[in-house]
Amino acid sequence: MHTDETKPSDFKKSENSDYSHIKGWGIDADPENDPTYPIKKRTNEEHEGYAWDRPAQQPETVEILKSVERPNLTAVFGTASPPEGLNGKIRELAFKYSESSYGRWLPLMLADRIGVVEGIMDDLKKGHVPNVFAELGWPAEWKHNKKGFLLKMALIGAGTAVAVSLLTSKKKTEDED
């Protein structure tokens, strides 16, 4: 497992390894057959790996969700929107699963959708009415993709009509009983 303490020398392949069974392996090993030569000034220093000192760790001022595959923080990370509200709770749940798991990505997608609704509600609480149509890109879609836009609106209208009819039909049958 690679950690933040991993050095470039840890990645060097051993001299006695044979990868000739892999098609295309070592295709760039011959400097005479290098497509970037002579444009690239070849010094062969990159073959020795990169020596660098790890930068200072960014301070952790808000809650940062960490991957189960990576026990420590990366050198830099975003702090603009820390997990909060219902979408934050869903994100915390999702980060308990592996990055290769649906248990991770499906809840994160759901949290994104919930975050949009929470953002709109937050705007309304602050007295700002968001321009949802512009934020969804509908004016641009109308300008550049009228056919697709009309199809999307027709599907939204049909879905809304079906939902309204189902809701009102249930209400009518309950009233009749």
**Is residue 10 over pLDDT 60?**
no
Measured CA to CA, the distance from residue 150 to residue 138 in angstroms comes to: 10
Read off the pLDDT of residues 13-62 as tens digits, 9 standing for 90 and up: 555 567 778 787 777 777 677 666 666 666 666 666 656 677 788 888 89
* Residue 60 structure tokens: 């952790």
Read off the pLDDT of residues 72-98 as tens digits, 9 standing for 90 and up: 888 788 888 889 999 999 999 999 998
pLDDT at 15: 54
**Is residue 99 over pLDDT 80?**
yes
Q: Which helix (H) or strand (E) holds 68?
A: none
pLDDT at 152: 94
pLDDT at 18: 74
pLDDT at 1: 46
Note every long-range contact of 112-121, with CB atoms under 8 Å and residues 24 or more positions apart, other chains counting.
Answer: 112/87, 114/85, 114/86, 114/87, 114/90, 115/85, 115/87, 118/85, 118/86, 118/87
* Residue 35 structure tokens: 């497509």
Nearest to residue 91, comparing CAs of 113, 119, 121?
113
pLDDT at 73: 82
Read off the pLDDT of residues 114-160 as tens digits, 9 standing for 90 and up: 999 999 999 999 999 999 889 889 999 999 999 999 999 999 999 99
Q: Where are the beta strands (DSSP E) in 18-138?
A: none
Measured CA to CA, the distance from residue 144 to residue 150 in angstroms comes to: 12
Measured CA to CA, the distance from residue 73 to residue 95 in angstroms comes to: 14
pLDDT band at 165 (very low <50, low <70, confident <90, very high): very high
